[in-house]
Structure 1
Amino acid sequence: MFSSDYINYLIERGNDEQTHLLSTIRKLPIDFFETLCAFLNTNGGEILVAYSFENKLIGLTENEFNILEKSIINGINDANKIHPKPRVVIKTVFYHQERILYLKIPNSQAVHTTNNGFNIYERRDTTNILVDNISDQLRIQEKKRFYYPDNKVIRYIEVEHFNTEVYNKAMKLILQTRPSHPWLNMDFEEVMRSSGLWRIDLETKESGYTVAAVLLFGKDEVIRAIFPSFRIDALREKDGFDGYYDRETFTTNLIDTYYCLMDFVHKHLPDFFVINNTTRVGIRDLMYREVFINFLTHQDYSSGLPAKFAITHTDGTFTVNSNRAGLNKNIDPSNYQPIPKNPIIGRFLRELGLAEELGFGLKKIAAFVNYFSDEKPQFHDGPTFLTSIPPISKKIILEEEVKRKEELNIEKPKSVYQQDLTSFRQFPIISNHLIKETQVDNSTDIFENLSEQKKERLTSIILFLGKAKYSTTNVLIKELGVSRETIAREIKILKEHRLIEFRGALKNGYYYLTDKGVEFAKILIANTD
């Protein structure tokens, strides 16, 4: 994009509806933000800034570039100069060793204004036209509004309707990721104006906070009043999808909902790691961050259909949400031109460092899935938007197999790979006679009145723990090849007979043999060698 040929093409094209050549040294011309506003309201464009474009190109010094760049950044964060805050690309490019300041301006999803919200411009040929006719203003408004309901102004919403704790949480997140962000020096109302969460509706002349502001920061009772059917369910499903082990329902703001969904993943799915340039990288949180941000950003919140995130019995996952369909077909992330559904929400989440540029999220999800599965993720854009993530099928490192030695006070297994663990299926079937011969106390048969298949599973679990030292439910499920419900029943029996016990926190603890279980396992191993 920034090759010499392309820069030469822009210079030769000169000023037109999507290109502007600006000659200056240290100061932006008075009409700079009018030009920026016009591009944003029309079809986007590109601006090149140099000392001179006449006859021979003369570029900027590094100091001049820095001064101009700072002026532009300060200006786009000043609601009096341009509102709402646009996202523009600012780059240094060189043409025949001459430094040029390059700006890429998108066709924005919002109507932008200058002069403290009083003036609207659009680009026609080489001229910035002041749009002061109400019919033309409504034409621009209607063009922008078609796909963007989060831009709607909600009457009578005031500052007291917002959750200040969530707002402070968002500002702390910006401070951690972007400590020089200009919003950190603004008060609440200034941030709302700068981000487009407060705006003037050109059709009704009403001004106020938008749907996006309510969804991001509204108190729970305010969100329920405006969106009575708003609900997001998180499910841990049973085998056959006819029930669930765990269910949580969220009806709160989108920022807290995002963190609640991440907590649900932490509770039910282990982290998994890959080696990237000799560095061990956990990809669970990175991948589900993209899944949930895409899930929350592109919903149709005016629909009565509750959204759902589900973890299946195989540890595959999927999200389903109502959607204003743009394609009504399956999506190929490598060849996808997305249509923004709630651009103001997406823009704000990008400022928090949570969201990617439009379209990049699906590509990152597909790249993450390739690390741990031979299957591809599925994305379908229809009346409901579906994202489906397959379960683990490749050799990866699981979190529970690299637990800190100091906390558990045990030796790490010789192998940390899921497929390297001894398979339950390698153990021989344990007969009733052998079980009775291996009693470690004077009680009756501990597996009395159980089926042969259940006895085989129970003794296999004991044999596995006798060799692997410890395990999680997920590892037992994958090794035994049964459902989570079946493993839960077998664990309950072993715990009742005090053969195994659970140590550690609920989210990341492990099952171990008790002293009684160790003795029982030794006898079983001796009789099966």
Structure 2
Amino acid sequence: MNKTELLQKLTDIEWDDFEVKSAHNGLPENIWETVSAFSNGSGGWIVLGIEQKGKIYEIVGVSNAEKLEQNFTTVLRSRDKFSVLINPLCKKYHFDNKTVLAFFIPAAEQKPVYFNKLANTFIRTGSGDQRASKEEINALLRDQLFGVMSAKPALRTTLDDINRTTLGRYRDYMARFNPALPYNTMPEDEFLQRLQIVDGEHLTYGGLLFLGKNIAINRNISDFRVDLLEIPGRSYAEAEPRYTFRLEEQENLWEYYFAIIERLKRYVDMPFKMNDLGIAVENSPQLEALREALVNMLMHTDYFSVAKPRVRIFSDRIEFENPGSFPLPIEELLKTDVSVPRNPVIAKLFRHVKLAENAGFGFDKILVWETETHTKVNFDKSIAFSKVTFPLAKKLGDIEQAGDKLGGSQGQVTDHVTMQVGTKSGPSRDQVGTKSDICLIDEQKFLLEQWQDEHSLLDLMNWLSRSNRTKFRQQILTPLLEQGIAEMTIPDKPNSRLQRYRLTEKGRALALKIANGK
């Protein structure tokens, strides 16, 4: 920090990495609280010789700067006061005949950092220091195992605790989306060992969380769950009822991923596409941004915290919040491709099926949301949590209605392709496939069973209790038109008020197969 940057800091309204103290009569007593707070966070500057009066900062200087600097650094570099050695960067500035001292306190590698006793652990909140709560101290203690815990064996597990259905789905997904990966041809025992899903006779914590049975996960990790709530308002206080949908408990992280991504699809524009193999591909830049945030949340959650990862969908925003802080300052994560996952085993399992970045946190994909919606994504963190918020371009008038779009509380769970993922009870196959690679979701199947004559768009929407024309076209009607299953009665005037839709010969044949249970 040079003199210009120092003066610029003094004009800022609020900062969380900069603290001024007058130091009239030597080192102020509360300076140790700030040292602890900066060490437990992302680091920061302590500036001595500046007095704050309201919003005005006056350069008063310090007397005997050399002695003050020596006293301060001696305390930090000894083990008499602090729990760890602290090596500050020291700067000296001269303003006329006044001397200002600045010390950069680096973020500690081993936390918590406290003075005299553990209770004197402080954290930074906004531009102030606060004594850390018991849970925040525990979070800092768990961070000593950052990047290590997911590869450790969960000793209260055996190979029987693997959910065989989930493992089969995961391997099938890998074969579909990363067919060249050598893991695809490995026998199961080698596959499990090489991906660190198991360690000898036990599952690793990462393997257990990702592919284990729910009962086994809860036997080793208290109260395992990932919450998703849809809240009909901008806050709980405004919402009535408190929420309109809450995700049911799933078996493991792989099942949670698909269940959550399915709900998120209801809040983004979803154009329909077919790939070269005739497989329906569901993708959009908005969904990519939400998918990246979801995967990041699942990879970086502190699963040993009493708090739980959660997705909350309010009428004006979508929030992803997880226990466990980002490993680096958000500004640094945004401008570099550094990747320091809290749970490397889980991160690797997502990467091998191309659902996570090989490097970095995928923030570039997350920030595409801003281009697509003209809203700003917000990143927030503390010692104990991280949160990413996506503002919705338009306030959702009725989340309960949105939650019923696919009928029922669960709907079909798909991602990338129309591939069904079931719940804990086992796999569910709700799509209809033919030799020509036609893929239908449940609503399309139901529609074809009812469709006999020519019908208006409103008729078709009413059969499915749909109210959003755009999403009905994108998710239901357009795929049927593009696959030659349905056609317009006035194709040269697609927006005509007299437009009707009817099944083609191909569509009628398919409807007959559906009716006969084929």
Question: 1 or 2 for the larger relative contact order (CA 8 Å, sep ≥6)?
Answer: 2
Alignment TM-score, normalising by the size of structure 1: 0.44
Q: Which has the larger share of helix? A: 1
Structure label with greater radius of gyration: 1
Alignment TM-score, normalising by the size of structure 2: 0.45
